[in-house]
Structure 1
């Protein structure tokens, strides 16, 4: 019986991941299109290496309309010095480069959601090919993975850093140590409502220490959230033993999302009116939003009630909602 051979990745790197020093280059994926028969998708990458030590893989724009991560990582790539590093840092500010260039959550080429495309395929769509390269080339190099997210154009979050509850408690504890070191205003024990195909899942199944964020939203980055990303990235690298220096010790409020009752979904289409703001404490059965039908006047709005008590942590950002949209997220505050 013949063994099935796995195709090599079509992505090639213009940097040498094993050479000391700092290199700025690209991950180049051939992409034949109408305006360039022999064209390529060019994903910027920086590699900083100084001797032996752990490797951090830092990524932004997994979704292309989320900007705090790219800001922090373009700044780090510009300013980091090899002599300040012990080990290696791989910086990819715009993981889904086509989506980032277009300012969209998913790729304009194939509508691929990078964070639902893992493990990817070397002979798949553009998004699947990029995911495959991370799965088979970049993730195996890493010890620590930091993947920046925010709400994009459709969600808004209290700025938090997060990790997941894992079966491997040593892996879990190390992730939460780095979450604390990141020093965001809020730190979350995260429950994913859709974990299939996620970059998070791919990294954690390899035993990597995985940390992520949700830093604001609305399809922009404020001065505050950009600075949280820049400072948090530096703090995490120092705590991981990869970057020299002392981390800034900052207080953080720990939050927990223990079950599906944290999430409130719309079942109707209409105009949303929130009755609480991010950071407010809400009670179970409290009205947190109304959805007004928009086809005619005089109709009673639909009430959305909190399914649990807690802190209003995230909300739908656009003024209109559709059935199935996540309207609100409520988390438990952890004391101590």
Structure 2
């Protein structure tokens, strides 16, 4: 197997606090011998567990990068028993321009795993994480929010897994994170996801959806900062006990997703966190080509709570219009 061209500018296993980059050679028009420089911080004290903390898997989601750049600045190795690997902006090219996918190859980082050492820039980054960083980790936290196209009720999430012992550890970590809502999450398509790669290695993998709209809010950044602190304490890496906070558990059963079948202007008829009845209208799509046309109605498939909605005012056929979750047992 061909070696990955990414090289860290800091040691991966040394004691103490180390700030540097993952350097990926990338020759381009404005820099013939240039590189993509992905910021990384590694803090190590002793031989305890290892946490891998990532944000910016999608470049237009900001709670993770805000929480993790702050964490990297403030972590003291003397407060740890183990190792924390912090990559605040995993898909750094996308993060630099505020887009979901990379401006270099248009690849979606979270559909590029296990990656390729001789592939595109995004595939090389995915391959490095798959081969070098994920195997080191005991627990993985990957921050997400809705980016520019979705808005979420702020939740921390784990996936239902075939290995129920692994699943129990995941949901214990989700609970410790302490978001206002906790989700037993279902993906539309889990192929190529960072989540799937970590779970197939047997890792405890935790993710979030903390808002959206291509920005962040004071509330969601507070949730992210408190949550990562709680998770490190739960894992036994950061000294102290997690701050126990109330959370309400949700699940995403069959029928939770609603998709647009027309182009137009979307009108959300239910706000995040409000109750929804099966068959009720959760959104309308208004034709914008001429006046006098009736809107297309999108109706909920199930009863529950609105946990996600399409964010921009215009929508295209095939876009996710809303997600309805139910209270978990």
Question: Does the TM-score normalized on the shorter chain lie above 0.5?
Answer: yes
* 1:171 matched residue in structure 2: 166
Alignment of 1:189-268 (within 5 A): 189-259=184-254, 261-268=255-262
2:37 alignment partner, SS class: strand
Task: For residues 155-185 of structure 1, give each alpha carbon's deviation from its aligned partner in whole angstroms, at most 9, with x where no partner exists.
Answer: 0000000000000111100000010000000
1:296 aligns with 2:290: yes
* 1:284 matched residue in structure 2: 278
1:196 alignment partner, SS class: coil
* 1:3 matched residue in structure 2: none
> Alignment partner for residue 325 of structure 2, among 325, 331, 336?
331
2:123 alignment partner, SS class: helix
Q: Give the whole-Å Cα distance in 1 for the aligned partners of 2:161 and 2:249.
A: 17
TM normalised by structure 1 equals: 0.97
1:269 aligns with 2:247: no
Q: CA deviation at 1:258?
A: 2.1
* 1:13 matched residue in structure 2: 8
Alignment of 1:312-323 (within 5 A): 312-323=306-317
> Alignment partner for residue 120 of structure 2, among 122, 125, 142?
125
The gaps in structure 1 that reach 5 residues or longer are: 1-5
* 1:37 matched residue in structure 2: 32
Q: CA deviation at 1:190?
A: 0.3
Moved over 3 A (4+): none
Q: Give the whole-Å Cα distance in 2 for the aligned partners of 1:145 and 1:209.
A: 6
Q: Give the whole-Å Cα distance in 2 for the aligned partners of 1:16 and 1:212.
A: 27
TM normalised by structure 2 equals: 0.99
Task: For residues 254-282 of structure 1, give each alpha carbon's deviation from its aligned partner in whole angstroms, at most 9, with x where no partner exists.
Answer: 000122x0000001001111111000001
Q: Give the whole-Å Cα distance in 2 for the aligned partners of 1:94 and 1:210.
A: 18
Q: Give the whole-Å Cα distance in 2 for the aligned partners of 1:120 and 1:241.
A: 31
Task: For residues 228-274 of structure 1, give each alpha carbon's deviation from its aligned partner in whole angstroms, at most 9, with x where no partner exists.
Answer: 00000000010011101121110001000122x00000010011111
Q: CA deviation at 1:334?
A: 2.4
Q: How many residue pairs align between the two structures?
A: 329
Q: Give the whole-Å Cα distance in 1 for the aligned partners of 2:153 and 2:247.
A: 12
1:102 aligns with 2:97: yes
Task: For residues 30-85 of structure 1, give each alpha carbon's deviation from its aligned partner in whole angstroms, at most 9, with x where no partner exists.
Answer: 00001110000000000000001110000000000000000000000000100111
The gaps in structure 2 that reach 5 residues or longer are: none
Q: Give the whole-Å Cα distance in 2 for the aligned partners of 1:321 and 1:89.
A: 40
Q: Give the whole-Å Cα distance in 1 for the aligned partners of 2:241 and 2:160.
A: 28
Q: Give the whole-Å Cα distance in 2 for the aligned partners of 1:275 and 1:112.
A: 33
Q: Give the whole-Å Cα distance in 2 for the aligned partners of 1:212 and 1:66.
A: 13
* 2:147 matched residue in structure 1: 152
* 2:41 matched residue in structure 1: 46
